[in-house]
Amino acid sequence: EYNTSATPDDLLDIYIDDIEIYEVRVVGDNANLPKLCEIYKEDFKVGVALMDFELKDERRVNLITTQFNSITMGNEMKPENILDYKTCSSDVKKYMTEPALNFSKLDLGMKFAKEHQLSMRGHTLLWHQQTPRWFFTKNYSRDPNAPLASKEIMTKRLESYMKQVLTYCNTNYPGIIYAWDVVNEAINVEDGIKGGYRSKDSYWYQIFGSEYIELAFTYARKYAEEGVSLFYNDYNCFEKSKLFAICTMAEDLVKKGILDGIGMQSHIKMDYPSMTDYEYAIKKYASLGVEVQITELDIDLAGNSLEDLTKLGTRYKKLFSLYQSLKETKQANITSVTVWGLSDDYSWLNGDKRKYPLFFDDNLLPKAAFYGACLDESIPLY
Ligand code: G3I
């Protein structure tokens, strides 16, 4: 209760310290924003990579479903989330050539896509990362020194894995996946191998040499739903030596009718690559006669001053103008452009340093980057 008769002499001094002042922003519902998937509906799908928790967050779901018509799961459809160690190791003989799989994580994204009528980029069937070492050992062993399985065994495991995953998707979610990253990041010219193949950190290469790539595409074609495009996907694929190695590898697969597209991940920087080199790469891949998809676009921006953010908007505007003009002038059959994350706070680029690479900020408010991608007049092109 207040003592209303108190005089100043009756009162205690109170010191307040450690005051922090935060900017409070009114969070809108983003309902009146221009819609990326509308803007580019005649050109290509516009997608976003997601993490599982985002599928249950109402504000995120609203934004995802109004802005995008394609999604990619950032992690949930990778081998480490599908291979079932417990079951495989419980009866090694039984599962020797037909690994046990668990689709509960894959289901999360697939159900979400189905419920919201979104298309899905399947990411990824074969990758040297996020595939546990035990899968490559003869006895599904977690012992780091356990010997690797033979090529014969791994060929069967590869076919079985592809068959099970693709059949599961075709049966339970027909028509949802329109593209699969069949093989991810198999070229790494720095390893010094003829053909530019990744070898040092790839058990696939160590067991097969480069043969596994064609095998993977062959099995993918055999079991994938009709009409699904099969992609080779890689980063820094605008760097000339990598670009040429990918083209040489891809040419052969295209001739064999088992590769339909090149996925250019496009984790890029503010000043690298140059627009000229990037455009050259898109055209070069397109000249193979395949689809091109921009599969993991983000721009590594470290600052968040108004100037930085505006420059990011400009870079995005240049990119989306390029994609649209290459598509509309039929210089490249770009069929999908996916940004690698919805909001800055959950970007994979955040490590020791905070980064600001995406279209939406931590409050899910649109940044200049978003308006740049919309080709909005407010964003300078130069
Ligand atoms: O789920 C665990 C969580 O339980 C644990 O507490 C936490 C602590 O580290 O880790 C969580 O897993 C992380 C996972 O992302 C989910 O957030 C992994 O450590 C982390 O390594 C993993 O990173 C993913 C990365 O691939 C792995 O290489 C990124 O999210 C994902 O965006 C990124 O995506 C790749 C593409 O697939 C291929 N191209 C490059 C791209 C960026 O690296």
Question: Which residues, listed in sequence order, are joined to residue 21 by a DSSP beta bridge?
Answer: none
pLDDT at 333: 98
Q: What is the mean predicted confidence (pLDDT) over 354-369? A: 97
Q: What is the pLDDT of residues 48-80, one digit of tens each?
A: 999 999 999 999 999 999 999 999 999 999 999
Distance 13 CA to ligand 1 centre (A): 52
Statement: residue 25 has pLDDT above 90: no
Q: With contact defined as beta carbons under 8 Å apart, do 264 and 285 qualify?
A: yes
On the question of pLDDT at 245 being above 90, the answer is yes
Instruction: Round the average pLDDT of the chain to a whole number and report it.
Output: 96
Predicted local distance difference test score (pLDDT) of residue 24 = 55
Predicted pLDDT of residue 254: 98
Confidence at 10, pLDDT banded by 50, 70, 90 = confident
Residue 1 has pLDDT above 70, yes or no: no
What does the domain layout of the chain look like in residue ranges?
A: 8-373
Distance 41 CA to ligand 1 centre (A): 31
Q: Tens digit of pLDDT for each residue in 199-243?
A: 999 999 999 999 999 999 999 999 999 999 999 999 999 999 999
**pLDDT band, residue 28 (cuts 50/70/90):** low
Atom of ligand 1 nearest to the CA of 78: 37
Is the per-residue pLDDT at 5 higher than 90? no
Residue 62 Cα to ligand 1 midpoint, Å, equals 24
pLDDT score, position 21 = 81
CATH of domain 8-373: 3.20.20.80
pLDDT at 13: 83
Q: Atom 2 of ligand 1 has which residue's CA nearest to it?
A: 75
Show the ligand 1 pocket: residues with CB < 6 angstroms.
Answer: 74-75, 129-130, 184, 235, 265, 296, 348
Residue among 76, 214, 296, 328 flagged as catalytic:
296
**What is the per-residue pLDDT across 265-318, written as a single tens digit (0 to 9) for each?**
999 999 999 999 999 999 999 999 999 999 999 999 999 999 999 999 999 999
Give me ligand 1 centre to Cα 348, in Å. Answer: 7
C-alpha 75 to ligand 1 mean position (Å): 6
Residue 2 is predicted with a pLDDT of: 57
* Contact call for residues 316 and 39 (beta carbons, < 8 A): no
Q: Is 80 known to be catalytic? A: no
Instruction: Quickly state the pLDDT bin for 11 (edges 50, 70, 90).
Output: confident
Residue 105 has pLDDT above 60, yes or no: yes
pLDDT, tens only, 160-177? 999 999 999 999 999 999
Query: Higher model confidence: residue 26 or residue 356?
Result: 356
pLDDT for the residue 60:
97
The residue to mutate among 77, 185, 268, 348, having the most atoms of ligand 1 within 8 angstroms of its beta carbon, is 348
pLDDT at 27 exceeding the cut of 70? no
- For the stretch 126-138, pLDDT in tens is 999 999 999 999 9
* Among 53, 72, 75, residue to substitute to test ligand 1 (most atoms within 8 Å of Cβ): 75
State how far the Cα of 167 lies from the Cα of 219, in Å rounded to an integer.
12
Q: What percent of the chain has pLDDT over 90?
A: 92
Calculate how far, in angstroms, residue 347's C-alpha sits from the geometric centre of ligand 1: 10
- More confident: 28 or 101: 101
Query: What are the distances in angstroms from CA 175 to CA 30, 119, 179, 226?
Result: 29, 8, 10, 9
Supply the pTM of this predicted model.
0.93
